[in-house]
Chain A
Amino acid sequence: MVGYIIRRVLWIVPVLFVVSVITFSLMKAAPGGPWSNGKPLSQRAIAQLDHKYGLDKPVIDQYLTWAGNMLRGDMGPSYRYPTRSVNDIVADGVGTTVHLGVMAFLLSVLVGIPLGVVAALRHNGIPDYIATFVSVLGIATPSFVISIFLLVFFSAGLHWFPTHGWRGWERPEAMVLPTIALALFPIAQIARYTRASMLEVTRKDYVRTAHSKGLKERSVVLVHMIRNALIPVVTILGPLLAFLITGSFIIETIFSVPGIGRFYVQSIGQRDYGVIMAMTMMFAVVIAVLNLVVDVLYAYIDPRIHYS
């Protein structure tokens, strides 16, 4: 087990190295450079800016400096906002993004698992059809389409919730729509997996045994079925959590939530290469770490799994 974890952690290193090389070379391949946006600058001004940010050095040197700084946790300057570093920008927004992500995560677990369980217990009944409908809708509909429908009906139409103006717990009503919009895809995924997994354990011997020794339906479901059925569901929680952190940029943009995702989208429009590069790396690290944590957690929950 320990050996497995060590090997998995070590395997992250080459993967992130390749990701960083690809990211860096793509940014360098981009024509125009970071100063081509807006008013054209004189040759001298460009040379000065290049010198200031070290862009006149050989590419290998630039990569090594950048990668070295990244390793020390210094994500470099923003070319668009000379007074702020990427660290400042991330520090400003990361709390909001994590807040939104965690709320959506809780919502999707609290809705998705019961939905899947009820659907499986009433297999081919009305709850099953509702759950299947919700999961197809959640998986096949893009988050921006869902957001638009929510906004048109609940903000523009019924005026129940504001269209924007996220201020955390100071204004809870502004958190409702972004959280629901972000959670719908994970709800669908979790419900789908839970349903399939519950249907699988229904046919198991130990469930029949539990029934035949006269246990109440309630305790068979709660103690014997759900606990075993949830094991495979844990595997998708990691990717989902990663999705909630890195995939919220659409939702943040639509609802003007001041998180790092919205800033990432803005940087794309402004060609702020420093920010795009740093954030891509940061997201890649988050995804790699979350996947690792879930794999380890999986082995911990299910003692039958041995990694070798």
Chain B
Amino acid sequence: MANTTAVLDRGKVATRRSTSLWGDAWRRLIRNRLAVVGGVVVLTFMLLALLGPIVAPFPYQQQNLTELAANDHRPISPFTAPFWLGTDHLGRDLLSRILDGAQISMTVALVVQAVVLIIGLPVGAAAAWYGGRVDTILMRMTDVVYAFPDLLFIILLNVTLRETWFGHAMDGLLLVFVAIGIVAWVGMARLVRGQLLSLKETEFVEAARAIGVSDFKIVTRHLLPNALGPMIVAVTLGIPGAILAEATLAFIGIGAHAPRASWGKLVADGQQFMVSAPHLVLIPAIFVALALLSFTFLGDGLRDALDPKLKGKQ
């Protein structure tokens, strides 16, 4: 009997999970209340963007003229069925328009970060691994991009290319994504370069080299996985920057073609009804602020969770 218990106990000891980096990070993350709230809001927005056209009560461009006429042709106030967030001066349901805008904002969030990773990762990795001239050229390039005022460059690209086929693709959104991505990849390239430069000198890389592992495999199997933490943080914190840039562009009239409207455009359009129908500008403004705050909280939480040394800095 006693023997059996001992064996069982040993079995228990053996199955106790060891704590991994990612497990620890996850526990630290879910203990951070702000980050959890941010994460939940982010997931909700993603879901809304995905299901937007299905859950939207009306097509976003549909003008509900009979209801508008019944309201003396003034924008319908919120909290009146069936327009829970009211309508604009053309009788378009604000909730449906915000859901369509959510799709734009979340697409910006993902596509821009994809562009950033696709360009920034290989360039940064190449600069760190090969050094020398490749590295110098990269660093000079990033100097130029840093010298250029971000938003002005994005505006310039959009203004000059908006009449081309490229500017018309995806209702004008492709150009916005690419323009923001072109400015933002530099930060990722520098980050990857810095991370890899310090990892390059570690003993496990030397060991891998000694047994003849190829350059490509060392970078992809040994270096990048170890740099993943800071990269995840950079991507998450880069998202609010991209959403903000898109919203600002839309606000000054660059971006998605009408009748599609991103949140920034909704705010800009609603500005003229600030006194008579403040919901038209306040509600989209709240959505923009909520999205940016949630991504920032989630990103800060991830940074603290993945790299506790950095906590409180930056």
Contact = CB atoms under 8 A, between A and B. Distances in A.
B214 interface: no
Contact of B285 (A148, A155, A253): A148
B225 interface: no
Interface residues of B, number: 42
Interface of A, helix, strand, loop or mixed by DSSP? helix
A102 interface: no
Interface in B135-185: 143-144, 147-149, 151-152, 155-157, 159-161, 163-164
Interface stretch (A27-35, A39-47, A78-86, A219-227): A27-35
A140 B160 contact: no
Contacts of A202: none
A27 B251 CA distance: 22
Interface of A: 11, 15-16, 18-19, 22-23, 26-27, 29-32, 136-137, 139-142, 144-145, 148-149, 151-152, 155-156, 163, 196, 199, 242, 246-247, 249-250, 253-254, 265, 268-269, 271, 276, 280, 283-284, 287-288
B244 interface: yes
A271 B148 CA distance: 20
Given A142-B292, A145-B289, A287 B251 contact: no
Interface string B281-295: 110010011001100
Interface in B281-314: 281-282, 285, 288-289, 292-293, 296-297, 312-314
Contacts of B274: 148, 151-152, 155-156, 163
A283 B271 CA distance: 28
A283 B155 CA distance: 13
A30 B251 contact: no
Contacts of B102: none
B160 A29 contact: yes
Contact of B271 (A22, A30, A254): A254
A96 B169 CA distance: 39
**Residue with the highest number of chain A CB atoms closer than 10 Å, among B160, B163, B268, B281:** B160
Contacts of B267: 144-145, 148
A141 B312 contact: no
Contact of B147 (A144, A156, A288): A288
Contact of A23 (B156, B285, B289, B292): B156
17 contacts: A18-B144, A30-B159, A136-B293, A137-B293, A139-B296, A142-B264, A142-B289, A144-B251, A144-B264, A145-B285, A145-B288, A148-B281, A151-B274, A155-B274, A250-B252, A276-B159, A284-B148
